[in-house]
Every structure is written in C-alpha cells, then in structure tokens.
Structure 1
C-alpha cells in the first residue's frame, strides 16, 4: 500500500506541476510525458528513502 500511495500522490503532484509549468511557459501540456516523469520521480523517492539511514545519528 505504501508504494501505491506514494505513486498516487507523486503522480497527482507532478501532473499539477507540469500543468502549471506548461501554462506559465505557454507550451503544450502532454499527460503522457508528465506521467513518465512522475514514474521516474517516484522511483527516485524510493531510492532516496532506501539510502537514508533509519537509525538516529550517534554523538561522538
């Protein structure tokens, strides 16, 4: 479920960002291209969350 909701919210937010960005730059909005970018961003989020350690930092 965690992966689904991450993909869902990333898809919505990236679509919104793509729509607003295309409106501001006066370019064509393409849902297909923005969807590919949303999937790539979701994969990057999963990679970053796997790399960041879960344990608290130790004091030296």
Structure 2
C-alpha cells in the first residue's frame, strides 16, 4: 500500500510543481513530462525508503 501512495503523491506533487513553474514562466503545462518525472520521483523515494535509510530498531 505504501508503494501505491508513493506513486500517487509523486504523481500529484510533480504535476503541481510543473504546472506552477510553467505558469510562472508564462509557458504551457505539459502532462507527459510531468507524469514521467512523477514516476521517477516515486521510484527514487521507494529506493531511498527501502534501501538507503535503515531503521534503528532493526539494528
């Protein structure tokens, strides 16, 4: 379930960020690159959460 939430939040936050930055620059919002970045962001968050950060209770 946490993977699903990571994908959802990564998707939403990256699309919001791309929309705001495009609006500030006077450009237009592109859904495809923003969604791709969201998936990459979610995968990176999962890798960091599962592999790189260790739980102190497990040691």
Q: Which runs of 5+ in 1 are unaligned?
A: none
Over the aligned positions, Cα root-mean-square deviation in angstroms equals 1.2
Aligned residues: 56
After TM superposition, the score normalised by the length of structure 1 is 0.83
After TM superposition, the score normalised by the length of structure 2 is 0.84
Structure with more contact order per residue of length (Cα contacts < 8 Å, sep ≥ 6): 2
Partners of 2:2 and 2:47 in 1: CA distance: 14
Higher CA-based Rg:
1
Q: Which runs of 5+ in 2 are unaligned?
A: none
Q: By percentage of residues, which structure has more helix? A: 2
